[in-house]
Structure 1
Amino acid sequence: MASYTIKEINTILKGELIGNTDNLIEGPEQLKNAKNHHITFIGSTKYAKLWESSEASAAVINDNLNIEPGDNRALIKVPNADLAMAKILEMFSPPSPEFEVEIHPTAVIHETVVIGGGCKIGANCYIGPNVVLGDGVTLYPNVCIFDDTVIGDATTVWSGTVIRERCIIGSHCIFHTNVSIGADGFGYRPSDDGRGLTKIPQIGNVIIGHYVEIGANSCVDRAKFSATIIGDGCKIDNLVQIAHNSVMGRSCIMAGHSGLAGSVTLGDGVIIGGSASIKDHTTIESGATVGAGSGVMGDIKAGQTVLGYPAQDSREMLKQWVALKRLTKK
């Protein structure tokens, strides 16, 4: 198990060290659960009051907080405790599961597949005709990659993920367990005789940029024609639905249980809160934020924050909630 002195940790963080501790730090932990071999994090005054009762030997804190370290305890002041936490988590991160062999003998790999240098392919993977894997791609056991798909360098695909035919995946992506990329979009119309539904063929594909991360059990459907597109740097939580022909700009965030209906367009840096639903053919411009649980029925301007169902400007919606609360008290 890795352990560090507080000075070694501060060498990485480059913060302002206040106080000192001779306890070795063996990992990060929440304030209330931390012991004397832990380092913790305080990002706001809400949690600052818990420092005195915590058993942690050290804490990383925002530099606008005034806290005394105490006996044999240390504080590291930084501009952003959350970003500093990410660096510490990397220091203590355990290694990824090991591969005994780079390409497991039970993997089924078509003879036309092009495999880049340093790729790792786990047990029972299936890789179809004309697939191209860039350098350093990692496929954990039971991944399926279907025909004519291209995956860029250093992308990691965890077990149970299925990437359907003709998809184009960028470099340095991470797909967690049971992600579905390129399944048919949800397209049906009433049949001519009125007795059933006619399936609309989905003949497009999915294009995913670089440094995209998609959480477990999320789905990105192929387009009816053309492509469903996810831009560089997007981060998608677990259990998220992205429907056919949707287009996401760069560095968008979608929290768990949220969903885009068909042909939704997101600009750059859009944030979609958990369980939010976006109506089809809607445009959300760059920098906009959709609050958790909201239902977006129309276009949203750049930089706007919306809340509620149906979603409205956050300031207007908060006024309505206050007014309703007052009515219930009469």
Structure 2
Amino acid sequence: MKTFSIEEITTLVNGEQIGLCEDIINAPEQIENAVKGNVTFIGSSKYARLWENSNASAAIVYEGINIVPEEGKAFIKVKNPDLAMAVLLEAFEPESPCFEIDIHPTAVIDKTATLGKGCKVGANSYIGKNVTLGDNVVIYPNVSIFDDTTIGNETVIWSGTVIRERTKIGSHCIFHINVSIGADGFGYRPSSDGRGLVKIIHIGNVVIGNAVEIGANSCVDRGKFSSTILGDGCKIDNLVQIGHNSVLGRCCIMAGHSGLAGSVTLGDGVIIGGSASIKDHVTIHSGAKVGAGSGVIADVPAGKSVVGYPACDSREKMKQWVALRKLGRS
């Protein structure tokens, strides 16, 4: 178990210690559940009232909050408690599951595949023809990587993930369990005789940049032609759908259960809230935000926030909701 003194934690998060505490910190914990030996977080005055009844030994506190620790406890004041939390959680992170053998004997690796230095491949994984893995790629058990795929250095792929042929993946990516990369896009047209549906074959691929993280059970479909693209630094939550030929700029965020239909374009830094859905061929420009549960059917200008179904400017939608409530009272 990892442990730290208050002074060590203060140094880690680049904070200012207020008060004295001799307890050894063995874990971070939310303020309601914290016990002696835990450090907690107070990011706003909303949570400051909970400190009085907390058993935590210490708290990382937003520097603008005017409260003081009790005797024998300590505060560590920081400019951004969320970023401090990220640093501290990384310090306390347990070791990842270990590989007793770098390449498990039950893994099937085609003779034409190329593995860089330090790669690890877990049990029952499959690596197809002409696949190229960079240095220190980690493939956990039961992963399938199909032909002509390239994966950059330090990428980690968790169990159950399937990466279809011709996919290109950058370095330092993380794919969590059961991610699907490069499946056929959803495309059908009525047959000429009107008796069925004709499948539209998708012959493109998926291109994923560096430092992209994709959550469990999310899907990124291949392009009908050319590529579905995720730019550097994109973060995709669990249970997200990204349709064929969609293009995401740098550092986009998509929360759980959200989805892009085909040929959607996101600029840099776009944020899509949970369960939001985006119509095909829509462009959401850089810095725009889409509220949770919204349905976007038209382009969104840069920096705009939209909410509702159909989505419109957030301030305008708030006015509409207020007007509807007033109608209900009349």
TM-score by length of 2: 0.99
Name the counterpart of 1:17: 17
Q: Partners of 2:176 and 2:12 in 1: how far apart?
A: 29
Q: Which moved more, 1:56-65 or 1:278-287?
A: 56-65
Q: Partners of 1:57 and 1:67 in 2: how far apart?
A: 15
Query: Do structure 1's residue 257 and structure 2's residue 254 form an aligned pair?
Result: no
Structure 1 position 329, deviation (Å) = 2.0
Name the counterpart of 2:103: 103
Q: Structure 1 regions of 5+ residues with no counterpart?
A: none
SS of the aligned residue for 1:52 comes to: helix
Structure 1 position 328, deviation (Å) = 1.6
TM-score by length of 1: 0.99
Structure 1 position 11, deviation (Å) = 1.1
Equivalent residue runs for 1:48-197 within 5 Å:
48-197=48-197
Q: Deviations over 1:157-188 (max 9, x none)?
A: 00000000000000000000000000000010
SS of the aligned residue for 1:94 comes to: coil
Name the counterpart of 1:329: 329
Q: Partners of 1:8 and 1:137 in 2: how far apart?
A: 32
Q: Deviations over 1:59-115 (max 9, x none)?
A: 001111111101111001101000000111011110000000000000000000000
Name the counterpart of 1:234: 234
> What is the one-letter code of the residue matched to 1:305?
S
> What is the one-letter code of the residue matched to 1:313?
D
CA root-mean-square deviation: 0.5
Q: Deviations over 1:244-303 (max 9, x none)?
A: 000000000000000000000000000000000000000000000000000000000000
Count of aligned pairs between the two proteins: 330
Q: Deviations over 1:188-235 (max 9, x none)?
A: 000000000000110000000000000000000000000000000000
Q: Partners of 2:120 and 2:33 in 1: how far apart?
A: 38
Name the counterpart of 1:198: 198
Q: Partners of 1:251 and 1:64 in 2: how far apart?
A: 29
Which consecutive segments of 4 or more residues in structure 1 shift more than 3 A? none
Q: Partners of 2:328 and 2:97 in 1: how far apart?
A: 56
Q: Partners of 2:118 and 2:165 in 1: how far apart?
A: 23
> What is the one-letter code of the residue matched to 2:82?
D
Equivalent residue runs for 1:39-54 within 5 Å:
39-54=39-54
> Quick one: percent identity of the two aligned structures?
69
Q: Partners of 1:53 and 1:319 in 2: how far apart?
A: 40
Q: Which moved more, 1:205-214 or 1:6-15?
A: 6-15
Name the counterpart of 2:248: 248
Q: Which moved more, 1:11-20 or 1:296-305?
A: 11-20
Structure 1 position 16, deviation (Å) = 1.1
Equivalent residue runs for 1:208-227 within 5 Å:
208-227=208-227
Q: Partners of 2:254 and 2:184 in 1: how far apart?
A: 21
> What is the one-letter code of the residue matched to 1:66?
N
Q: Partners of 2:6 and 2:117 in 1: how far apart?
A: 39
Q: Partners of 2:178 and 2:103 in 1: how far apart?
A: 21
